[in-house]
């Protein structure tokens, strides 16, 4: 009888440990209220430096952590120049050029890293300036000529938002 109980315990214990390990990997994403979109690593292209994790997607914000090259990360948000990563139960921000090997967690429902889906498409009817911000007085980044085709992420207050040089 003792032998049978020992064998059962030897089978259950590894299964419980595996379940605990899986929950430790998965729960941080749900505890923070953020769905993990991609897994990646801190870039090894900068082997002698660490990568800073900011409180906001802004270099002037507080530094929350410093990561060594090659460290695995979980990405929950993608901005033009930053990625939001899980940092305990909150989100920290890392410069996009400081990550490598991003892979979608859910291949069927998550776009390939770096892809943006346009909501609208248009053909330009006359020459149109592409502005740096939704303001008539802002810098003109480029002028689209008649017949050019363009995709828009969205439209807000009459201004169409598009991606120009990752911005």
> Tens digit of pLDDT for each residue in 19-68?
444 444 444 444 446 899 999 999 999 888 999 999 999 999 999 999 99
Phi/psi of residue 31, nearest 5 degrees: -65, -35
Q: pLDDT digits over 138-149, tens only? A: 999 899 999 999
| d(C-alpha 114, C-alpha 120), whole Å | 19
| Cα–Cα separations (whole angstroms), residue 11 to 16, 117, 165 | 9, 47, 55
Closest C-alpha to 86, from 65, 104, 103: 65
Q: Percent of the chain scored above 90 by pLDDT?
A: 49
Does residue 8 contact residue 16 with C-beta atoms inside 8 Å?
no
Closest C-alpha to 34, from 73, 82, 80, 74: 74
Q: Is the pTM of this model over 0.85?
A: no
3-state secondary structure at position 119: coil
Whole-number average pLDDT of the chain: 82
Q: How confident is the model at residue 74 (pLDDT cuts 50, 70, 90)?
A: very high
Mention every residue, 6+ apart, whose C-beta is less than 8 A from residue 105: 36, 37, 38, 39
């Amino acid at each position: 009888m003792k032998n049978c109980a020992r064998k059962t315990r030897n089978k259950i214990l590894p299964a419980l440990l595996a379940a605990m390990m899986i929950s430790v990997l998965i729960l941080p994403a749900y505890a923070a209220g953020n769905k993990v979109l991609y897994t990646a690593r801190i870039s090894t292209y900068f082997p002698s430096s660490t990568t800073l994790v900011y409180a906001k997607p802004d270099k002037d914000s507080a530094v929350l952590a410093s990561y060594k090259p090659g460290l695995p990360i979980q990405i929950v948000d993608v901005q033009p120049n930053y990625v939001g990563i899980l940092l305990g139960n909150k989100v920290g921000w890392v410069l996009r050029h400081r990550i490598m090997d991003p892979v979608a967690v859910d291949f069927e429902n998550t776009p390939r890293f770096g892809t943006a889906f346009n909501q609208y498409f248009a053909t330009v009817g006359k020459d149109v300036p592409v502005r740096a911000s939704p303001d008539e007085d802002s810098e003109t980044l480029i002028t689209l000529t008649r017949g050019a085709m363009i995709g828009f992420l969205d439209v807000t207050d009459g201004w169409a938002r598009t991606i120009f040089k990752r911005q």
